[in-house]
A and B are shown apart, each in its own frame.
Chain A
Amino acid sequence: MKRRASIIGGVAAIAGSFVVFVIPFIFIILMAFKDKPQSALRDFSWPQGFHLWDNLVQVVTTRNWMMITAFINSALITVISVTLLVVLAAMVGFVLARRKTRMNGLIEFLILAGLMIPPAVVPTIWLMQGLKLFGTLHGMILIEVAYNLPFSIILYRAFVATIPRDLDEAAIIDGARPLDVFFRIILPMLWPVTVTNIVVQSVGIFNDFTNPLYYLPGNQNATVQLTLYNFQSQYNTSYNLLFTNILLITVPPLIVFLFFNRQIVAGMTAGAVKG
């Protein structure tokens, strides 16, 4: 009896997640195969004819090859922000876990506040304009780093706390300077959390729509998520192109997740249980 119940439960769960996750994805793929008149119906029907290649060519070449620029921009923003995030968050996590000062409480409060309080867009734009960073890629990178730093720090700090302090001290006696201790001993040992951080943050930053929309105006600055706006307007939307676009920009994060799935989970739980 118990066994049958668990089978029924499993099947229900699979069916549920199929409806929630797979069916929309199938819908996207089907839409990408259709031509404009059929896609305008927005129904779950089999495509009449094979239009994927035409759609792809049109999506990529639209607005003077904007898609290519967008991919380059997104790649730059993602790679540089994630690199900065990993190095900075690991350093902060290391110092925060190792050095007990009276400031620790305040710092932890600020990190938590950074995680919970939503960013104010208009003052940020004003500040960025003052610093001449508004509408630039490096400005955007700084924004992404700032917004995502608290989460990364929390992940790292929990993990650093499980690394015995004896290791730092052994390295110091071996002649390591503080930066040696960090880069040669601590950072390599943080690898599981680093993988988690890289995957979670790069998917998040690559898929970010709102922040580039606010802080990175201009055709030359488009990121992949913003290219979605190319095919959508108040009176006229090309659904076939829109969904082809979606398909195109969903693939990179999907690949990352497929490859690193196991390591992400390992890293997420690594700090939780001392092992």
Chain B
Amino acid sequence: MAGLEFKALHKTYGSVPVIKGVDLSVDHGEFVVFVGPSGCGKSTLLRMIAGLEDITSGELWIGDKLCNDVEPRDRGIAMVFQSYALYPHMTVYDNVGFGLKLARTDKAERDRKIRDAARILQMEALLDRKPSQLSGGQRQRVAIGRAIVRQPEVFLFDEPLSNLDAALRVDMRMELAKLHQDLGATMIYVTHDQVEAMTLADKIVVLNGGVVQQVGAPIDLYQRPANLFVAGFIGSPKMNFAEVTVQSIDGTMATVTSKDISSVSVAADTSRMSVGDTLTLGVRPHHLTLDASGTLVGGVSLVERLGNETNVSLKLPSGATWLVVLDGDHNLRGSQALQLAVDSSTVVLFDKTGQSLLAPR
């Protein structure tokens, strides 16, 4: 049984800080996904857990053991790499059994464990092959097998699916979810793929610039982003933003207006704003609907027809470009004027520092 606990973790390369104080706790059996843009430190954080990077300061607890200076092999972890990192000169059987061999597990026991792992991953037929004779998906399976066979407390995945083609990625994603269910181990997963994060995670950790932006359940992050960065990062296509001015405050409702939107009433934490403040309003592209009496007017500049939905790039009077996702197929022409309604219950306001002003639940 092993959860993880990070206490003020720091990492610097020379004088460049990469991880700037991460506090996080992960319960046993949780599936945690680290997301963030390139260079945000998510892989570095994972490698610190693995023991491949030194910890500059702070504490890393795996289970109830302080692991700052513990060798990777003694941490009870296993890692799956983006490049799979299979040993090319060994057969699949030897690849999977390498860790056990190093641990001097006895031969019969080793054989049993290797065959168990192969059975779980349905790759018994591949055991005698070399990695070069395998397809991408098969290699990934072997890499996961190599992790399973060590029966670790914590699985670490470093963008494991990003080298696979789109269809295979969907399959492997489901298999990973199933594997998590079956094994019940703690899994930490690094990705920059939104869908992987949203579908796999019990808990998403959004990182930017070496700082945790928000931690929470996927749907919470989508509906109640803590700040502008999370709002922009989670959800695809990206959330639309506009600068607005507070017109009036009435209880928990704030009415805001801008050049492009005549007026919208939004439920918000009104105690942190006053009339006349300049705020940022965020609307997801899916929450805009065609409506002849709508408050938003703009000209179509680009249309992508996907059949089940239509992505429209909208040029607003202020010059800003918003993205709108309309349900169903719409045959729109360029420069056509659209009138749209904003679903005010899903709108989020942000203050000047980028913190969201969501009404407390």
Contact = CB atoms under 8 A, between A and B. Distances in A.
B144 to A, nearest CB: 12
B50 interface: yes
A195 B51 CA distance: 35
Given A171-B98, A174-B146, A166 B73 contact: no
A176 B102 contact: yes
B73 A169 contact: no
B282 to A, nearest CB: 39
Given A174-B150, A175-B99, A175-B102, A169 B89 contact: no
Contacts, number: 54
A167 B85 contact: yes
A173 B88 contact: no
Nearest to A170: B85
Nearest to A189: B89
B72 interface: yes
A173 B98 contact: no
B16 interface: no
Contacts of B82: 166
A189 B207 CA distance: 37
A118 interface: no
Interface string B237-267: 0000000000000000000000000000000
A173 B73 contact: yes
A189 B88 contact: yes
B102 A166 contact: no
A191 B89 CA distance: 10
A164 interface: yes
Interface size class of B (residues with CB under 8 A): 20 to 34
A60 B79 CA distance: 62
Q: Which among A173, A176, A184 has the greatest number of chain B C-beta atoms within 10 A?
A: A173
B77 interface: yes
A175 B103 contact: yes
A54 interface: no
B214 interface: no
Given A175-B73, A175-B102, A170 B79 contact: yes
A180 interface: yes
B73 A180 contact: no
Given A174-B73, A175-B73, A166 B150 contact: no
B61 interface: no
Interface string A144-176: 000000000000000000001011011111111
Given A173-B73, A175-B73, A175-B102, A166 B81 contact: yes
Contact of A173 (B72, B86, B89, B103): B72
A176 B73 CA distance: 8
B85 A180 contact: no
B83 interface: yes
A180 B103 CA distance: 12
A185 B82 CA distance: 19
B85 A164 contact: yes
B78 interface: yes
A170 B85 CA distance: 6
Interface string B36-60: 0000000000000011100000000
Given A174-B146, A189-B89, A169 B52 contact: yes
Contacts of A184: 98
A176 B83 CA distance: 19
B98 A164 contact: no
A171 B82 CA distance: 15
B83 A172 contact: no
A173 B78 contact: yes
Nearest to B97: A174
B237 to A, nearest CB: 33
B87 interface: yes
Contacts of A171: 87, 98
A37 interface: no
Interface string A115-144: 000000000000000000000000000000
Contact of A164 (B52, B73, B83): B83
Nearest to A165: B85
Given A167-B85, A185-B87, A173 B77 contact: yes
B77 A166 contact: no
A105 interface: no
B85 A172 contact: no
Contacts of A180: 102
B342 to A, nearest CB: 47
A69 B211 CA distance: 72
A180 B104 CA distance: 13
A167 B79 CA distance: 12
A174 B88 contact: no
Nearest to A176: B102
Contacts of B102: 174-176, 180
A173 B79 contact: yes
A169 B85 contact: yes
Contacts of A174: 73, 98-99, 102, 146, 150
A74 B126 CA distance: 47
Contacts of A188: 89
Contact of B50 (A167, A173, A175, A189): A173
A166 B89 contact: no
9 contacts: A164-B83, A169-B52, A170-B79, A170-B85, A170-B87, A171-B87, A173-B52, A176-B98, A176-B102
Given A166-B83, A169-B50, 6 more contacts: A169-B52, A170-B85, A173-B50, A175-B103, A176-B73, A191-B89
Interface of B: 50-52, 72-73, 77-79, 81-83, 85-89, 98-99, 102-103, 146, 150
Interface of A: 164, 166-167, 169-176, 180, 184-185, 188-189, 191
CB-CB nearest 8 A-B residue pairs: A175-B73, A174-B99, A166-B85, A170-B85, A175-B102, A188-B89, A166-B81, A166-B83
